[in-house]
Structure 1
Amino acid sequence: LDPNFADKIRHIRDPKTRMAVVWSHCKTKMVCEPDDPKDEGAEQDNDDVKRGHGGCGHIQPQIRKEGLKLFVQYKKAKDDDEEVKSLQPDKRLMTPSEVYTVFKKMSDSDLH
């Protein structure tokens, strides 16, 4: 987490403006960054340890809103072969139950 980013959004009262700042910061993040692996033999300094957020390493989709529907779209990697490209749909509807499941997995500490 970027502490400067947290300070920026903490002081924005207007929800639409705050969401615009969050969106502009997050729109370039295309991978859920996993935590750095810990070396068991290495001595750790508490000051230098980067605190992770428990990321999974999964490629993040672009989410587009059309009316009241949310569509998920993954960017195709250049090194994918043609068979894999044809299997993945370009755009897929994200159902309300999928959205609810994602929100249910978020803890209160993720939101603050």
Structure 2
Amino acid sequence: HIRDPKARMQAVWNYCKSKMTCEPDEPKDENDGVDQDEPKKGHGGCGAQQPLIRKEGLKLFVQYKRGKDEDEDVKSLQPDKRLFPPHEVYTALKKISDSDP
């Protein structure tokens, strides 16, 4: 555990900054031929696209990157950027379980 809040946040940021999708769990193979005492524990990913979170002053903004499959006309537009209010931040952080590393 990292006790210093700034160092802890930096460690979380470095780990998460490259994750742009909530990767779903791999499908379980029932007949893989190997008996495992402990089944692999999944993290419950949903496959949703993850936004970039930017801080401007004391405000947080979420910004979604456009996919490659969208029309060229849409690419010329600005990425979707909206305010991330404190109550939504609190709700998102509250969903993180204590067992998550």
The TM tier, using the shorter chain, reads 0.7 to 0.9
1:97 matched to which residue of 2? Answer: 87
Aligned with residue 59 of structure 1, among 34, 49, 73: 49
Please say if 1:46 is aligned against 2:46: no
1:17 matched to which residue of 2? Answer: 7
Q: TM-score, normalised by structure 1?
A: 0.70
Q: TM-score, normalised by structure 2?
A: 0.76
From the superposition, tell whether residues 40 and 108 of structure 1 become closer, same or farther in structure 2 (CA, over 3 Å): same
Residue identity opposite 2:57 in structure 1: G
Confirm or deny: 8 A CA contact 2:66 2:79 kept in the other structure. Answer: no
Identity %: 69
Listed one character per residue, the Cα deviations across residues 64-103 of structure 1 (whole Å, up to 9, x for unaligned) are 0111111000111121125766999521111222112212
- Count of residue pairs brought into register by the alignment: 101
From the superposition, tell whether residues 105 and 21 of structure 1 become closer, same or farther in structure 2 (CA, over 3 Å): closer
Structure 1 moving runs of 4+ over 4 Å: 47-50, 82-89
5+ long unaligned stretches in structure 1: 1-9
Residue identity opposite 1:103 in structure 2: L
Listed one character per residue, the Cα deviations across residues 14-72 of structure 1 (whole Å, up to 9, x for unaligned) are 22123222212221111111110113343454379543211111111100011111100
